[in-house]
Amino acid sequence: MIKTVSTSEPNFETAFDAIRNRLERLERISSPSAQRKTEEIFGRPLSPREVVQQIIHDVRAKGDEALLDYTRRLDGCELTAEDLKVTDRDCSDAYEQVPPELLAAIRAATENVRRYQQHIKIASPQDFVQEGARIETRYQPLASVGVYVPGMLGAYPSTPIMAIVPAKVAGVERVVVTTPPAKDGKIAAATLVAAKEAGADEIYRVGGVQAIAALAFGTDTIPRVDKVVGPGNLFVMLAKKEIFGQADIDLFAGPSEILIIADAVANEDYVAADMLSQAEHDPMASAILVTTSEHLAEAVIDQIEAQLAKLPTRAVAQEALDNYGLIVVASTIDEAIAIADQMAPEHLEIITAQPAEVGARIRNAGAIFLGPHTPEVVGDYIAGSSHILPTGGTARFFSGLSVNDFLRKTAVIEYSFAALRNVLGQLTAIGTAEGFAAHVASAQIRFPKTHKPTGRGRKK
């Protein structure tokens, strides 16, 4: 069951490190069953990283042929190249299968995300002008983006909303969605409807590493894109690392995480429910409570056991809590804040007497949820900010996905003759110090009395 430690105990750091480094360990080590699977497919045991590199190599070399082969071997789905692209008829059929209340919720979430992303979109500032020199800062949308939507195990209509809408608000012309098909080749109706409502231009039946490779390098059926975004499992995350540079990526969004800072005023029912809301995602999901109240810690354990017994996803949640669940009893709120910043969690809830004051002191978190009536689930589905957030401690330097991740910044520089003359001495000094004579000459040549040619020039 979930572990409980005090910050004063020697094993505190050990328990904490086991959670923080879970992805790093998995990148290097495979289970015996996984090794047997890779031997069956590739003819030899491979590490997760080697599997990813092999699949990417094959997709680059063989294109659609590799996509179809891996879809058959890994997903158990037989497709032809003509089956890869989802048709308008497929989407129409999906709309007929989605209940009216779900369609209404999808549309409400889409509108909330759209309005919030419009609110935070960066606007080009006024030109910077200084003594005859002008610099324009121009923000332009990317031309094409690929959105990866996890599938097979269920429908995830929230993910296309959280990724496609920010891209469309930015002005991206072509948004491509890839998502793995079920064994019968179908994609969950809710996922298709959400993707269309969000503004997807193309949708393809392909998942896993092969989908990421197709988006980055292109195949006969799937044209390449400029950026690949979206969450996924370990293999998808490793694939995004591998293709970075060929295409841009958003961030490394691995197994879900929640850390809750709570004091004696917190309701144990709420805390337990919120921890379980993330634990049910994945056996590798992490759920941590950091509290200054030993009484709350004990009460939360009791509540987790009671709620877990009634949970349809209890098997997954139980495994996640056994492996990556932790309750930490801290001496002070200051200590709890320090632990949260050290963890840099994907989701940080603050349920204390003064949540806003505590939240203002947090430095590292993907998203922060303040107060007892702001469960993390509102961020997952309806609030408007994207739920594609950094995990594994990367919130120290990554931000959650937003409209601004789909904009490129370009500087447009213009100098007058007088402005260039004013900085000629400075250009000359720096260029000379760096040993770049041609740099210096490219400025001095515009001022004949200053320029000293180094070779034969044009005869006068």
Give the full edge-to-edge strand order of the sheet including 174-179: 202-205, 174-179, 144-148, 227-229, 248-249
Instruction: Based on the residue annotation, tell me whether 119 is a catalytic residue of this protein.
Output: no
Contacts of 138 (CB under 8 A, 6+ apart): 124, 409, 410, 411, 412
CB 44 within 8 A of CB 52: no
Strand 325-329 to strand 3-6: parallel, antiparallel, or no bridges (unpaired)? parallel
With CA atoms as reference, report the closest residue to 212 among 246, 182, 236: 236
Helices 158-170 and 100-120 meet at what angle, rounded to 10?
40
CA dihedral for 18, 21, 23, 29, sign (positive or negative): negative
Residue environment code for 411-430, b if the CB has 16+ CB neighbours within 10 A, otherwise e? eeeebeeebeeeebeeebee
CA dihedral for 285, 340, 162, 172, sign (positive or negative): negative
| CA distance linking residue 91 with residue 193, whole number of Å | 7
Alpha helices by DSSP H, 282-416 = 294-309, 314-324, 333-343, 355-360, 377-381
With CA atoms as reference, report the closest residue to 345 among 295, 400, 402, 308: 400
Name the active-site residue from 268, 347, 349, 387: 347
| CA distance linking residue 106 with residue 190, whole number of Å | 9
Name the active-site residue from 242, 346, 349, 376: 346
Strand 227-229 to strand 248-249: parallel, antiparallel, or no bridges (unpaired)? parallel
CB 240 within 8 A of CB 212: yes
Instruction: Indicate the DSSP class of residue 391.
Output: -
Instruction: Based on the residue annotation, tell me whether 346 is a catalytic residue of this protein.
Output: yes
Instruction: Indicate the DSSP class of residue 404.
Output: G
CB 130 within 8 A of CB 400: no
Write out the catalytic residue numbers: 346-347
